[in-house]
Amino acid sequence: MSDDRNPINPEESRRGLTRDELLRRAAAGGALLLSGGGMASVADAATRAAAPKRGGTFRIGVSGGSVKDIIDGQNIVTRPDQARIVTAWEQLVEFDSNFRLQFTGLAEEITPKSASVWTIRVRDGIEFSNGKTLSADDVMYSIRRLIDPKLGLFGGAALSSVDPKGMKKLDKRTVRLKLKRPDATILDALGQYIANIVPVGYSPKAVGKAKPNVGTGPYVLKSFAPGQQSVHVRNPNYWRSGQPYFDQVVIIDFTDDTARVNALLGGQIDAMTDVPPAQVAVVNGHSGTKVLESPSAAWTPICMRVDAAPFNDVRVRQAMRLIADRPQMIAQALAGHGQVGNDLYAIFDPAFNHSLPQRHQDIARAKSLLKAAGHEKLTIDLQSTNGALGMNEGAQVFAQQAKAAGVTVNVKILDSGAFYSNNYLKWTFSTDFWGTRNYLSQVAAGSLPSSPYNETHWPDAARKQFLSLYKQALATVNTEKRAAITQQMQSLEYKYGGYIIWGFSTLLDGYSTKVQGLKKGDKGVLPLNAFGHGYRSIWFG
Amino acid sequence: MLHGISGFIIRRLLLGLLTLLLVSLVVFAATQALPGDPARAILGRSATPDSLRALREQLNLNQSAIVQYGDWLKGLVTGDLGTSLAAHEPVSQVIGKRIENSAVLMLFAALISIPLAVAIGAVTARRRDSTFDHGMSVGLLGLAALPEFVVAILLVVLLGTTVFQVLPAVSLIPPQDHAWEHPKELVLPVLTLVIAVTPYISRIMRASMVEVLESDYVEMARLKGMPEQKVLWRHAVPNGIAPTIQVVALNLAYLAGGIVVVEFVFGYPGIGAAFVDAVANRDIPVVQALAIVIAAVYVFLNVAADVVTILVSPRLRTSLR
């Protein structure tokens, strides 16, 4: 089962977040970290050298953050919350450096009897930071809390197939889940970085007050001031032997990009998230600091509504997709820090359909398609907002490119309040952003009539078979068979879909070279190798 | 009718309160002008029907604007600034520490820049048209022309990151500490503000001193054989300072609002950062409270400047009697 796929990465994070805050690149994925993969799976030569050393205070500056910051073992609101949640809590299954699920987490196995009955067994002898032993009760409590509609935690959406009444404790380490419907993506949902295991009775109300913040993770919270900083000390009871290496971790909110870069250059912090593309050369050029690049599957699509004119004519959608000069969009909108897209999301999915040819700019064909559809000299508004790096930039580059095909695209950059108003998800032509997820999870989040964020209103009337294929895929536990089905689905979206997916951004984070253990090229959901896997796989050299 | 200095002060204070009342109207109206439904603007993409309803209730959006304004004003007068929408804590708790930190920054900047500017102004006026005067004049004009964020970044590059690494580039003040416990962290932001403010004050001081130094009583003092230093500091400066006080007040008031940029560059945990944060979060109660606080500082400084000007100018002082 360990080859199972489809990690879900609910960007639902974004539901809770204002765009500016979380994620410039919407890395709301479910993972602990990710390495290797497409670009450079080899560990950075500089960082593989010596054996880990103990000690020191690790200080990290995180972008965004405000008085909205929270600490909850199963919830985040801002980007610094992501940096904090990994200190104290862990999942049952974890994503590895290649964005594949592995049983390296709290569960030693999770096995399906069918796509709707799953058995979870946790490892023996893991203790929470307060000494309590991890048991089946904690797992049941944690899952119930995640899907509690009263709490409205965003990790719950991906677990909507779980029936709270269908959960049964088989012995002190084993739980059986009976789902409301077949759901082969349940492991992805359990691998989300917010799908953490908390002890029975956990409530964030206890945070920072009388009761300590209890989790199985490598650090224990010492102090927390929302919008400013938090201090975490080593959990002496941690179950992975030898780890973590730091005595203390300080997580500092930095709203301003320049201040964050200056603090890194000046040696006031040891690492930072989100180096602005324009500052990459500055950080790399300064002695003692470097930029860590991690490919991500986060994307900022241009969305066309398949049920509204002019895009209800599939030829117009196809023409727009042929207008995009993707390498140029990466170069200009992302300053070159990204990977070209092929109008398909979930590029890290093991079942990603690589057999579909890469789409290139073809103005002549775009023009003839538009002519055939009766939309020569098309003029249209493209709504955008500063939600994530690449939204406005991509829209503007696209508008330039469209001129060659005789199409006038008027980019309307709106205030986020106006963009996410009643018109949101109703715009005919707009941009948006999504984080790293596997295919079926992304379909659930954005490509079904029931999805909470279906900008394109996909599938159109002629492509209803997409829905039956999706149901079929969810009920298929066998990895190969499911891959065959999802590739058919991808092929439909590739030919007829409403997204222009021109690229995937690269995570750019900075670190001081005295920090050891970071790996280049890890497939990134969370920055800096998922914050050094909760600050436990990195150390000071 | 009230007479004399005390009457004057009371009248000015009442006028100040009236100004504040007008400001409160503008601030309130501005927050009403948010496009569409303020509750939806605040919640953005995360809006659900339930959360919208709850927020509308919390913001009293179901009532008429006049009732809303009345409620808000009542809270303001009784010291109840409401609850922050982002932090879910009383506004006073969210901004209290921030106000203290900014006040410390402003105080240090004022304590350094005012005496410095007065001294520069007096000395350059005394040595008018000397090389020193011209040099200072060019240098100060140059500094005045630089926006403070440029000054801040130059200082960071020079002293914090690239050239020398002698001072912290960013003012990381732990939340539980007072700003003055971290003098090193204060140096660069204070220096930036001093550089931003000093040129203006010293130019005005110089201009008014030039006038004073040419007046008859200075001539008289010199003819009596009084030492030049005494003429300058005892006789000329006290008279030259009156017009400068207004400029000092304007500059201090500017500091109250204008440190936003400087605090942002240095990551300094003051009202500037809190203000930016609150606007980004559409945290209306905090925005309103900070706008009123800053307006109050403006009004207070202007009243204080008027009063001090009168106290140091014998002619004005006696005309009030």
Q: Does A491 touch chain B (CB under 8 A)?
A: no
B128-145 in b/e form (b: 16+ CB < 10 A) is: eeeeebeebbeebeebee
User: pLDDT value at position A198?
Assistant: 94
* CB contacts, 8 Å: B283 with chain A: 67
Q: Note the pLDDT tens digit of each residue in B121-177.
A: 989 998 889 999 999 999 999 988 888 888 988 999 898 888 888 888 888 888 888
Distance from CA of B295 to the nearest CA of A (A): 23
Q: How far is B29 from chain A (nearest CA, A)?
A: 18
Chain B hits for A67, Cβ within 8 Å: 84, 86-87, 89, 94, 277, 281, 283
Taking the Cβ of residue A14 and every Cβ of chain B, the question of whether any pair is shorter than 8 Å is answered with yes
pLDDT tens, A89-105? Answer: 999 999 999 999 999 99
In angstroms, the CA A237 to CA B268 distance is 36
Q: Do B41 and A417 touch (CB under 8 A)?
A: yes
Q: What is the pLDDT of residues B253-309, one digit of tens each?
A: 887 766 778 888 888 888 887 888 888 777 888 888 988 888 888 888 888 888 888
How long, in residues, is chain B?
321
Return the pLDDT at B46. 61
CA distance B97 to chain A (A): 12
pLDDT at A499: 97
pLDDT at B301: 87
Cβ-defined contact of B168 to A268 (cutoff 8 Å): yes
Chain segment B179-195, per-residue pLDDT in tens? 888 888 899 999 999 99
Partners of residue A18 in chain B, C-beta under 8 Å:
44-46, 280-281
Return residues 251-280 of A near B (CB < 8 Å).
Answer: 252, 254-256, 258-260, 262-263, 265-268
Do the chains contact at A262 and B280, CB–CB below 8 Å?
Answer: no
**Three-state secondary structure readout of chain B:** CCCHHHHHHHHHHHHHHHHHHHHHHHHHHHHHCCCCCHHHHHHHHHCCHHHHHHHHHHCCCCCCHHHHHHHHHHHHHCCCCCECCCCCCEHHHHHHHHHHHHHHHHHHHHHHHHHHHHHHHHHHHHCCCCHHHHHHHHHHHHHHHCCHHHHHHHHHHHHHCCCCCCCCCCCCCCCCCCHHHCHHHHHHHHHHHHHHHHHHHHHHHHHHHHHHHCCHHHHHHHHCCCCHHHHHHHHHHHHHHHHHHHHHHHHHHHHHHHHHHHHHHHCCCCHHHHHHHHHHHCCHHHHHHHHHHHHHHHHHHHHHHHHHHHHHCHHHHHHCC
Q: Which residues of B touch A268 (CB under 8 A)?
A: 168-170, 172
List, in sequence order, every residue forming a beta bridge with A434; answer none if it has no partner.
A299
Nearest CA in chain B to A416: B44
Question: Chain A contact for B267, CB < 8 A?
Answer: yes
Question: Which residues of chain A have a pLDDT value below 70?
Answer: 1-50, 206-212
**CB proximity A15 to B under 8 Å:** yes
The partner residue sitting opposite B169, judged by closest CB among A20, A262, A417, is: A262
Please tell me the distance in Å from A263's CA to the nearest CA on chain B. Answer: 6
CA-based nearest distance A286→chain B, Å:
8
Give the integer Cα–Cα distance in Å for B182 and B270.
Answer: 14
CB contact under 8 A, A67 and B267: no
Q: Chain A: nearest CA to B76, how far in angstroms?
A: 22
pLDDT at A209: 44
Q: Does A285 touch chain B (CB under 8 A)?
A: no
> Shortest Cα distance from B149 to chain A (angstroms)?
11
The CA distance from A144 to the nearest CA of chain B, in Å, is 22
* B49–chain A Cβ distance below 8 A for any pair: no
Residue A353 Cα, gap to closest chain B Cα (Å): 31
* Interface check A241 vs B, CB under 8 A: no
Model pLDDT for residues B41-97, shown as the tens digit of each residue: 666 666 666 777 777 777 777 777 788 888 888 888 888 888 887 777 888 888 888
Give the separation between CA A382 and CA A419, rounded to whole angstroms.
11
Exposure string (b/e) for A112-144, b if CB count within 10 Å is 16 or more? beebbebbbbbbeebebbeeeebbbebbbbbbe
For B137, phi then psi, to 5°, come to -60, -45
Q: Are the beta carbons of A227 and B41 separated by less than 8 Å?
A: no
A289 part of contact set with chain B, CB < 8 Å: no
Please tell me the distance from the alpha carbon of residue A321 to that of residue A339, in angstroms, as a whole number.
Answer: 17
Nearest CB among B45, B169, B175 relative to A268 is that of B169
pTM comes to 0.83
Is residue A366 a contact partner of residue A325, using CB atoms and an 8 Å limit? Answer: no
Please answer whether residues A506 and A34 qualify as being in contact, where contact means their C-beta atoms are separated by less than 8 angstroms.
Answer: no
> In chain A, which residues have their Cβ closer than 8 Å to the Cβ of B40?
417, 421-422
List, as ranges, residues 53-112 from B with C-beta within 8 Å of A. Answer: 84, 86-87, 89, 94
Mutation site, A222, A228, A264, interface B, largest B CB count within 10 A: A228
Task: Give the chain A residue nearest B158 (alpha carbons).
Answer: A266
pLDDT of residue A442: 93
DSSP H or E segment with residue A175: strand A174-179
CB–CB contact B36 A422 (8 Å): yes
pLDDT band at residue B249, thresholds of 50, 70 and 90? confident
- Residue B161 and residue A420: Cβ atoms within 8 Å? no
Q: What span, in angstroms and rounded, lies between the C-alpha atoms of A15 and B76?
A: 33
Kindly tell me if the per-residue pLDDT of B3 is higher than 70.
no
Across the interface, do B161 and A262 touch by the CB < 8 Å criterion? yes
Contact B267 A263 (CB under 8 A): yes
Q: How many CB atoms lie within 10 A of CB B223?
A: 8
pLDDT at residue number A254: 87
- Residue of A14, A15, A259 lying closest to B267 (CB–CB): A259
Sheet of A107-114: strands edge to edge?
A107-114, A117-122, A174-179, A162-171
What is the Cα–Cα distance from A490 to A510, expressed in whole angstroms?
35
- Other beta carbons within 10 Å of B181: 11
The H-or-E segment that residue A233 falls in is strand A229-234
Residues in chain A: 541
What is the nearest CA distance from A281 to chain B, expressed in angstroms? 14
Average pLDDT, chain B: 84
Contacts of B42 in chain A (CB under 8 A): 417
Task: Decide if A66 and B267 are in contact by the 8 Å CB cutoff.
Answer: no
Size of interface A-B (CB pairs under 8 A): 115
User: How would you classify residue B225: left for phi > 0, otherwise alpha for psi between -120 and 50, otherwise beta?
Assistant: left
Count of beta carbons in the 10 Å neighbourhood of residue A410? 11
Q: What pLDDT, on the 0 to 100 scale, is given for residue B70?
A: 87
Chain B residue numbers touching A424 (CB-CB < 8 A): 45
> To the nearest whole angstrom, how far is the Cα of B3 from the nearest Cα of chain A?
49
